[in-house]
Amino acid sequence: MQTRILPIDENSLKLSEKIILNGGTVAFPTETVYGLGANAFDGLAVKNVFKIKGRPNDNPLIVHVHKDYDILNLVSYVPEYAKSLAKAFLPGPLTMVYKSKGVVSSAVSCGLDTIAVRIPSHDGAQKFLKYLNLPIAAPSANISKHVSPVTAEHVYSDLDGKVEVILDGGKCSGGIESTVLDCTGEIPVVLRSGLITRDMIAKVVGDCGEYVLKEGEKARSPGMKYKHYSPNCKTMLFSYAECEKAVERYYKYNAEGMNTYILCDGQTANSINVDKVLNLGNSDYEIASNLYYMLREGERKAQMIIAVAPQKQDGVMAGVMNRLIKACKD
Ligand code: TXA
Ligand code: MG
């Protein structure tokens, strides 16, 4: 299969519709990362998404819809707090998990009685979803466990020959995946942190929990238990306090002939004396936006990435840290 990167216009949308209605897959941009989309009603198409990615078959997919789509077609109950959150944050990088009506293929939620729904704000995503007017099941458009893609070229390098069309919407501005929020209980509970933080949610509805997976427990958001976001090179992670140690290692490895880069925020980059830096930038949003991009740059250029964690660890940085830890895990 030939893979084509296309600009988002009437021609590519028409072609995408044809592919999706024939049970195929199309990669499309969102404000977080690129998705690999299939018709959520089509079980074979959804199963093929798992196959293309090499994704474990107990890790459910998010269903994407356009902003005027009536989610009551898909979910059986929307609590009041979820309505307030939708009003505050959607379209945007917040995925909400509801009790499912069971109308989409059971392959989407891997047999769970819930469904994760996302309304992305990216203009290209909205155009694609509106054109199809169908719920589109889509995980991030990377090979399972690899760093999520934030450009059409990233998708191409993972899925060349496996997907017919990649709709090109430029570099994703958000840079890390959406916050996944369980909306099936009394209060909302964050299952995966992201750009919409627990504090932001609590400010709107008064209270918000956070799910922490305990050793040996069955994951409520199954994706959490898997290795993720890993670049195809060696990695190490140091805390902010251990920055000097990281620099020592950098010099040692480079002297030994191992091409090594340091990945860190702008403040740290300015305070250390090294040439090969993957600079994530300064503000929280900038750092999140550059994280996957720089991990992919790193694997292209380096044999070893030594990451130094940012000093701040709360808010958006909680989402960044969660990914950075998983990216640097063996
Ligand atoms: O930003 C994003 O969310 C991107 C773009 C493409 O929209 N998508 C994405 O999908 O990150 P994926 O498949 O890489 O991650 C989906 C996450 C997984 O952690 C999965 O376990 C969780 O959402 N999830 C999906 N359905 C769920 C459900 N019914 N209950 C709990 N967690 C669910
Ligand atoms: Mg993913």
6-28 per-position pLDDT tens digit? 999 999 999 999 999 999 999 99
Q: How confident is the model at residue 223 (pLDDT cuts 50, 70, 90)?
A: low
Ligand 1 atom 18 nearest Cα: 223
Give pLDDT, residue 220.
66
Residue whose tokens read 């939708």: 86
Q: What angle do CA 71, 200, 32 make, to 5 degrees?
A: 60
Which residues share a beta bridge with 261?
Answer: 305
Q: What angle do CA 219, 222, 223 make, to 5 degrees?
A: 130
Q: What is the rounded distance in angstroms from the CA atom of residue 51 to the CA atom of residue 60?
A: 13
Give pLDDT, residue 174.
97
Give pLDDT, residue 236.
96
| Nearest atom (ligand 1) to Cα of 138 | 6
- Angle (deg, nearest 10), helices 80-89 and 198-205: 120
How, if at all, do strands 94-100 and 75-77 pair?
antiparallel
* Ligand that lies nearest to the alpha carbon of residue 60, given by its number in the listed order: 1
pLDDT tens by residue, 144-194? 999 999 999 999 999 999 999 999 999 999 999 999 999 999 999 999 999
Instruction: Please state the pTM of the whole predicted model.
Output: 0.96
Least confident of 88-102, 107-121, 213-227: 213-227
Which protein residues touch ligand 1 with a CB less than 6 Å away?
30, 32-33, 35, 59-62, 95, 97, 109, 112, 114-116, 118, 120, 138-140, 177-178, 180, 191-192, 221-223
What's the burial of 212, exposed, middle or buried (CB within 10 Å: 0-12/13-18/19+)?
exposed
The stretch 102-120 carries a mean pLDDT of 98
Q: Any idea what DSSP says for residue 7?
A: E
More confidently predicted of 53 and 213: 53
> Is 50 in a helix, a strand, or coil?
helix
Q: How many CB atoms lie within 10 A of CB 270?
A: 11
Q: How confident is the model at residue 213 (pLDDT cuts 50, 70, 90)?
A: confident
Asked whether the predicted pLDDT for residue 265 surpasses 90, the reply is: yes
Ligand 1 atom 12 nearest Cα: 139
Q: How confident is the model at residue 221 (pLDDT cuts 50, 70, 90)?
A: low
Asked whether the predicted pLDDT for residue 214 surpasses 90, the reply is: no
How far apart are the CA of 194 and the centre of ligand 1, in A?
12
* Ligand that lies nearest to the alpha carbon of residue 120, given by its number in the listed order: 1
Q: What is the rounded distance in angstroms from the CA atom of residue 11 to the CA atom of residue 43?
A: 27
For residues 320 and 288, is the Cβ–Cβ distance under 8 A? Answer: yes
pLDDT tens by residue, 277-318? 999 999 999 999 999 999 999 999 999 999 999 999 999 999
Q: How many CB atoms lie within 10 A of CB 189?
A: 21
Q: How confident is the model at residue 215 (pLDDT cuts 50, 70, 90)?
A: low
